[in-house]
Amino acid sequence: MDFDRLTAVMRRLALEAGDCIMQIYNSDDFEVRSKSDQSPVTEADEAADELISAGLRAEFPDITLVTEEQAASHSDRADKFLIVDPLDGTKEFVQRRGDFTVNIAYVENGVPTRGIVYAPAKKRMFFTDATGASFEETGALAPEKMGELTPIRVSTPDNKALYVVASKSHRDAATDDYIAKYETADMKSAGSSLKFCLVATGEADIYPRVGRTMEWDTAAGHAVLNGAGGRVVRFDDHSPLTYGKPGYENPFFIAYAPGVDLQPA
């Protein structure tokens, strides 16, 4: 894989998809439907998926592509693959909250090694470069010209005063019970894969997810967190969270900065 090219393509497609999403987000109205699993889908999900999928297939025709909105792609299995959630946080989008993202990642042998997370409503972009290191880009976020890049790194956590981030739309008693095992200084809520990025930038120390997710929900944020020195492990046994699982479904997990004294499930 040419990682310089992959980075440039993922960045361009994420920005173009973000523009497409925001046009619909800022419109007077848009249709919301329910998929077979009862999760919401909008024309923004589908338009962004079409744009990203076409771009990736044109640039990397020999790499397997898995995308949330194309069920036929979920049966593909490969050691290396691209995985896309064109609009992560559809509930946030529908409620016109800004915590939704475009997620594109590249997985090698079960590990998301490259990824991009773009929050178009918040104008925040996080991605890995060709070496796998993670950055936040600021400035105009123009597809044709990269702005200023700031290297990002996880925090050095204080286990007597941890900063926790949890899901905005999927918060439940099980999550609160687990967070209660820690000594916390502050707790915030965020939607979509932005939670991984808040850990990656040091704005949070730990993000526990006690709920259902799919690999396309997490791969890009996981890659960004990896590149910032963070880790993602299974909730049950604290072994590394891997990708390419049957059905692309994740177990519960914990994303965190090394140094956090992880508590048992």
3-state secondary structure 196-233: HHHHHCCCCCEEEECCCEEHHHHHHHHHHHHHCCCEEE
- 202/85 Cα distance (integer angstroms): 24
Judge residue 187's burial from the number of C-beta atoms within 10 Å of its C-beta, 0-12 exposed, 13-18 middle, 19 or more buried: middle
pLDDT of residue 77: 82
Q: Is the pTM of this model over 0.85?
A: yes
- What pLDDT shows up at residue 96? 86
State phi, psi for 236 to the nearest 5 degrees.
-75, -45
Helix (H, G, I), strand (E, B) or coil at 122: coil
Q: Under 8 Å CB-to-CB from 149, ≥6 apart: which residues?
A: 129, 135, 136, 137
Q: What pLDDT shows up at residue 42?
A: 82
Residue span(s) of the chain under CATH 3.30.540.10 come to: 3-151
Q: Tokens 């440039």 — which residue?
A: 8
pLDDT of residue 126: 98
Span 3-151: which CATH code?
3.30.540.10
| Whole-number pLDDT of residue 237 | 97
**In this predicted structure, what is the pLDDT of residue 170?**
65
Q: Boundaries of CATH 3.40.190.80 in the chain?
A: 162-256
As a residue count, the chain comes to: 265
pLDDT in tens, the chain (265 residues): 999 999 999 999 999 999 999 999 998 777 777 665 657 778 999 999 999 999 999 999 999 999 998 988 888 789 999 999 999 998 888 888 889 999 999 999 999 999 999 999 999 999 999 999 999 999 999 998 999 999 999 999 999 999 999 987 667 889 999 999 999 999 998 988 999 999 999 999 999 999 999 999 999 999 999 999 999 999 999 999 999 999 999 999 999 999 999 999 9
Which fold does the domain 162-256 belong to in CATH?
A: D-Maltodextrin-Binding Protein; domain 2 (3.40.190)
pLDDT at 37: 63
> In what side-by-side order are the strands of the sheet with 184-190?
184-190, 162-167, 206-209, 253-256, 231-234
Asked if 222 and 255 touch (Cβ cutoff 8 Å), the reply is yes
DSSP lists the bridge partners of residue 43 as none
Residues 6+ apart with CB under 8 A from 159: 182, 183, 259, 260, 261
Helix (H, G, I), strand (E, B) or coil at 72: helix
DSSP, collapsed to helix, strand or coil, labels residue 241 as coil
Per-residue pLDDT at 59:
98
Report the SS3 class of residue 175: helix
CA-wise closest residue to 33 among 24, 25, 42: 42
